[in-house]
Every structure is written in C-alpha cells, then in structure tokens.
Amino acid sequence: MLTLKQIRENTADIVERLLVKGFDSRGLVEEIVTLDDERRSVQKTLDDNLGEQNRIAKEVGLLFQQGKKSEADSAKVKTGELKEVSKELGLKLAEIETELNSKLVLLPNVPHATVPKGKTPEENVVVRVGGHMPKLAPSAVPHWDLAKKYDIIDFELGNKLTGAGFPVFKGAGARFQRALISYFLDTNTAAGYTEVLPPFMVNAESAYGTGQLPDKEGQMYHCNVDNFYMVPTAEVPVTNIFRDVILQEKELPVKYTAYTPCWRREAGSYGKDVRGLNRLHQFDKVEIVQVSHPDTSYEALDGMVRHVEALILSLGLPYRILRLCGGDMGFTSALTYDFEVYSAGQQKWLEVSSVSNFESFQANRLKLRFKDDKKTQLAHTLNGSSLALPRIVAALLENNQTEEGIVVPEVLRKYTGFDLIK
C-alpha cells in the first residue's frame, strides 16, 4: 500500500506512472487526498478540543483550591460538553480513516522507472536468453504422454480424487518431484537463505499484508468456517513473519527460503495452455524472500535474478528472462522479472519463476520497519520462485526424453538415486 506521504508529495508522478500499469488513478487519488484533508481537519479539531479539556481540568483544580466552587462547577460542565464533542469527533475520525484505508488498498504499487509500457505479455522485454535448445527425435511427445508412458503422473486419478488440476505423482515421478524440492532448498540455503517451513494456511490479516486481499480474493481457496486461506505461494506466510516487526538496520538483509504446496483457483483458465502440468490448482514451489534496506533493494533484486538463473542453468534448461511491461505486472510489484524455460515437446515457453521488488508497498501494509541511528522507516520486501515445479518438471521430462528413457539432470541424481526414468 502506498503511504499518504508518497501520494501527497508525488501526486502527479504517481498518476502518470500508474498509467504504465494501465490503471487510471486520477479520480481515486483525488478522493484519497480529499479524505486525508478531511481527516487532518478533524484530527486538528479533536486535538484542540482535548487540549482545551486538559486546560480546563487543571483550572478546575485551582478553582476548588481557591474556594470558587461555583466557577469550578461551571468549568466541569464545560469539560463534560467538550468530552461529548470529543467522542463525536473520535467516531467521525474513525469513520474517515476506515473509508480512507478502503480507498488506499485499491491503488496498485507504482512501477519502477525501468518498467516498459505495454498491456500484454507480448510486450514484455527480453533481457537475456541462455542455455541450449535440445534436439529431439521426431518421435518426441509432450510431457502428458510421457507421464502416461512411464506411469509417473496420473492426471485421471487426480481428477477422480479431487478434480482437474490436482495430479497424482507416482513412483519415479514422486521421487523426482521430491528431489527437485530438496535440491532447490539446499541450493538456496547454501546461498545464505534460512530455511523455514511455514503453515500452509493463513489468516485474512496475512493475506492482506502481502496484497492478496482484497486484490485476488476470488483466486484463493477459502476455508469459510475458520476464515483461513490456502497459501497461493510461500511468499504470504514467510513475509508475514515480519508483520508488526521493527528490525535493526544491522539485521538487514533478512533472507528466507521455504517450500510449500500452493493452491490457486485459476478461475477462467481453459484450453490447450492448461493441459498437463501447464496450469494446476495445486502445485509445489520453493520460494526465496528478502527483507532489504531501501538503498540496496535493487541490488538484492539483481542478486536474486542471478541466483534463479544459476538454478535453471544447473538443470540444463534453455531459458529467457523477461522484464514485465506495466500491463502484465502484479498489483503489488514495482519491478518484476519472469523466467521462462523452453519446453521442446510442446515447442513453447513456460513461465517458471517471477522475481519481484515490492519496495515499501507490502511493508506499509505489514508495518514492517527497521531502525537506524536516527529514525524508524519502512523496509523493502522482495520475493522470487526458486523454483515453481510443475512447468520445470514438464520441461525436464520433455527436453530429456530419449529412446532409452528420460535422462535425469546430473545435479539431481544424488537426490533421486537414479539417472534414468525407464
């Protein structure tokens, strides 16, 4: 959430930059400023009123000491009247603040100056391309056919147990999935990230803190009885570890990594792009999260991008890194890099990671601050997929298929215990 200070001091710039995201904020920003003016006016009147109450209260004591009971009683009546006015002002202030907050949460984060204009994924900017394209035999098939051939993923069984988008991994497929999770976590911890295993459900406060609520309420699975949400990403519980926390400057950066299953309704998704592992309602993902000093958060972002790139390279996958245009960015992000790997069986690029800097947008909602020698200020938060498994698995199965079986990348073999899925 943008701060009122940001909005008031940079109104024109915020309105202009949000147009890059395709969001016309002029009317909303005007409403916010007007409400804030009203809030300030009521707050000043309330403060003046309370000050007058305190002054009269002291005066009452002196009048009683001087034996001026009649004047003291009159002053007490005046104090009672002021208290009633203060009560009404307090209620009005709370009402304005509630309405003001309801407007503030509708404003997306302001995109960084380097974010290109654009409305669709086709307008994203390719930053870098790496790896080598595999050369497959003419008989090569997509991963859903390989899953059936080697009996490693059962989509029909998942449909029976739950529904479409909930596959069952079996035998070597389950072991392969577990190997990837362990490898990603081990690589992340070796890079200085502390591993945590958070809850897989969060309360509404946590979903609000990282910006899933109210923006993506319809995309999350909701347990109505307890008002808990199934996590759409480990970013939500991990970042919320620092909700209402004041860190010391010397503690920054804080670096965490976590594995969680993730749940997303993906409402409205259909067609060939959702076949197999391309788009699931439940999937596994390893996440990296950083809490950074504002002065170094973009250096941290570059470091996270290099880290994810190294992971993909180690798996031998061809990839490309995209800087997302404004219209393809998330509500909370200031700058996002997407990683796509090439899936040779489908002959298409598949997104496997997003790495984002949210600047102080999430921190303001979370009240996540740090203290230096002079003052307390909002920290910056960042996160990235490191990595999301379904499409990584799809690309690895398709790109490494041979007549003998599916070759397991060398870095995974100590985790799988085999080098070939037969």
Could you tell me which residues come within 8 angstroms of residue 252 by beta carbon, excluding any fewer than 6 positions away?
A: 291, 292, 293, 370, 379
Could you tell me the two tokens for 310?
């190294």
Residue 48, number of CB atoms within 10 A of its CB? 11
Q: Find out whether 140 and 409 touch, Cβ atoms under 8 Å.
A: no
Q: How far apart are CA 330 and CA 387, in angstroms?
A: 18
Q: Is 264 annotated as a binding residue?
A: yes
Residue 357 DSSP SS3: strand
For residue 383, what are the β-bridge partners? 289, 356
Q: How far apart are CA 238 and CA 44, in angstroms?
A: 39
Q: Is 411 annotated as a binding residue?
A: no
- Which residue type, as a one-letter code, is found at position 338? D
Q: Find out whether 357 and 297 touch, Cβ atoms under 8 Å.
A: yes
Could you tell me the two tokens for 124?
């994203």
Q: How far apart are CA 60 and CA 65, in angstroms?
A: 9
Q: Is 352 annotated as a binding residue?
A: yes
Q: Tell which phi-psi region holds residue 78, choosing left (phi > 0), alpha (psi between -120 and 50) or beta.
A: alpha
Q: Is 243 annotated as a binding residue?
A: no
Q: Which has the closest alpha carbon to 169: 283, 27, 2?
A: 283
Q: Is 128 annotated as a binding residue?
A: no
- Which residue type, as a one-letter code, is found at position 354? S
Q: Is 97 annotated as a binding residue?
A: no
Q: Is 351 annotated as a binding residue?
A: yes
Q: Is 407 annotated as a binding residue?
A: no
Annotated binding site for L-serine: 233, 264, 287, 383
Q: Which residue numbers belong to the known binding site for ATP?
A: 264-266, 351-354
Residues marked as binding?
233, 264-266, 287, 351-354, 383
